[in-house]
Structure 1
């Protein structure tokens, strides 16, 4: 990926699309299905299969939040992840996997507590944290993996 492009996952077909920063305000669309891309950096909710495809193909790091709707600390972390996504939109993808509905990946990783955060880069886990994290801690976690 060129350092001059940003990467966004299509909300319709899941394909990763590269977008030039100067085109963000032009309502970019997916090159495959032509759906409008969400360039806000908002977290994407995925099932296990979608997550596997995303982390194996993403040209940018993917921070995965394994959570559950009933989990108070997970709800506390959500606004922090939204802010992180906004700050690093196109350079980092924030993904959320509900462990009650989609437990397979969390079980394979041995997740014992939630929220559990796993940072993928190049298709492999490069860092992980458990529990509520501050924005500064999350920025430190991802900063070394982000393109300039």
Structure 2
């Protein structure tokens, strides 16, 4: 499942992927299948959390934050490695302070995993890629009855 960066619609892309440039089923713009993190505002975040058929890894960050800049390439690698299975979103807390406040974020970088429309895990501080991948995986795959999904 892939989210259109232009309109926020979720698009299913069959495997093997068709040749040519895929486009969004709603707005018909080019659809990015790379898994690279996408910038989002509060409204876009709400729509994505409620409508995403795949888990979401949210990065709450700001451009002046050195640890946030260190985390950026790690999240890019994680998103690309899990393209179609995990959606990585970035919320700039300087440009969009209200959603960060509503989420109770007190420090950045903060990472929140959403699955099935709800928060399932939260961490602050930069993690090396292998640890980030383990954390996200453990947050999205849990024992029966936890609400976590693959």
User: Same fold, TM exceeding 0.5?
Assistant: yes
5+ residue gaps, structure 2:
142-148
Which residue among 100, 103, 106 is the counterpart of 2:94? 100
Alpha-carbon distance between aligned partners in 2 of 1:73 and 1:25, rounded to the nearest angstrom = 39
Q: Which position in structure 2 is the counterpart of 1:53? A: 47
Task: Please give the root-mean-square deviation of Cα atoms over the aligned residues, in Å.
Answer: 1.5
Runs of 4+ in 1 over 4 A off after TM superposition: none
| Structure-to-structure mapping, 1:33-72, within 5 angstroms | 33-72=27-66
Q: Give yes or no for the alignment of 1:118 onto 2:112.
A: yes
Which residue among 7, 16, 19 is the counterpart of 2:13? 19
Instruction: Check conservation: 1:24, 1:39, Cα contact below 8 A.
Output: no
Shift of 1:26: 3.1
Q: How many residues align?
A: 142
After TM superposition, the score normalised by the length of structure 2 is 0.90
5+ residue gaps, structure 1:
1-6
| Structure-to-structure mapping, 1:71-86, within 5 angstroms | 71-86=65-80
After TM superposition, the score normalised by the length of structure 1 is 0.91
